[in-house]
Amino acid sequence: MTPLLKEPSILSQGVYLQLVTKIKFLDEAIIRSNDPEEVLTFKYQSLGNRFVIPWRKIKAKLRRLVMEKQRSLNIEPGCHLKDDLCMKCSSCFIFGGTGETSSANVPYNILARILGESFISTSQVGEIQPYTQNAVDEEDLTTGQALMSITPVPKETEFIGVITLKDPTPEIASIIVDNLKRLTRIGARSVEWGRVETTILGFKLSDREALTAYNLIDSKIDGFGKIDDLKLPVVEEAYKTLDEQVKNLIKPLLKKKPEESKE
C-alpha cells in the first residue's frame, strides 16, 4: 500500500488518500436554486434523478470546523474566513488560499490539498413536495407577505461522497478525519434544520484517484481499509506538528517579500 508522506511538501508527490464518506440527514433539508443552496437535484444518464450536495458546501463547513478546532489550540487564532486568512497555518495549508487577496498580503498562493466531488443520494428522487412558508400580517392577521416555496429533501436520505487528500501526512489525515466526525450540521438554515450524521465508511490509499461516488453509489461498499488501521496521531498533537512543519516549509517563500518591498 502506498504510504502516507512523512512530511508535507510544496511539490506534489502523487499520493492520494480517499475517504469514502456517508452523510445521513436527520432532518429535512432544503433545495434552493439560489445561493446558498443546500441540496440540488441532478439527472445522471445511468443513475437517474438524484439529490446532490455540492462539494463546496461540504468543504466550506469542514474548513470552518478545522479552523474552530485550530483556534481552540491557540494556533493562529486570528485566521478566519474569508478575507483574513493567515496563509501560514494548518487550515490554510490544507484548504488553500490566495495570498494577494488575503490580509496577510503574502507573495504566494497555496493550492488546496483536499479534493472533493458532489455527494450523491443513495436513492433516486421520487415525488417532490413543495413546502410553503409565509408570514402573517400583525394588523389584519392575513397572510400573503414573505411568501416563498421551498422543496425539502426527506429526512433520513443518505448520501455517498469521496473526499480526497492529496499528498497527505498522518497529521493532515488526522485533522480531516477528526473534523469529519464533527460534521453534524450542514446548510444555511443549520440553526433550525440541517442535522446530519457523518460516517467514514473506509479509505483507499493509492498513487491516483481510484474512487468516485458515481461508481460507488450502486455498489456494495466494502473492502476498504478501516480508518483505525492508519494509526493516526491524536488530533491535538497533529495540529501542533503540522503547524510547525508548514511554517518551516513556507520560510523560503516568505523571504521573497523583502525584495518586492525595495521598490
**What separation in angstroms does the CA of 121 have from each of 13, 20, 218?**
33, 14, 10
**Mean pLDDT, the chain, whole residue set:** 87
Q: Which of 122-136, 158-172, 209-223, 242-256 has the highest mean pLDDT?
A: 158-172
Question: Residues 138-148: pLDDT tens digits?
Answer: 788 777 666 66
If DSSP codes are grouped into helix, strand and coil, which group holds residue 184?
Answer: coil
Residues 35-80 have pLDDT tens digits of 555 788 888 999 999 999 999 889 999 999 999 999 999 999 999 9
- Identify whether the C-beta of residue 252 lies closer than 8 Å to the C-beta of residue 260: no
pTM of structure:
0.87
Separation of CA 168 from chain center: 15
At 191 the pLDDT is 61
Alpha helices in 24-119 (DSSP H): 55-72, 90-95
Over residues 86-112, the mean pLDDT reads 90
What's the rounded mean pLDDT across residues 235-257? Answer: 89
Which residue type does 204 have?
Answer: K
d(CA 226, CA 229): 5
CA distance 119 to 187: 14
pLDDT given for residue 183 in this prediction: 94
Contact between residue 19 and residue 8 where contact means Cβ atoms under 8 Å apart: no
Cα 104 from chain centre: 23
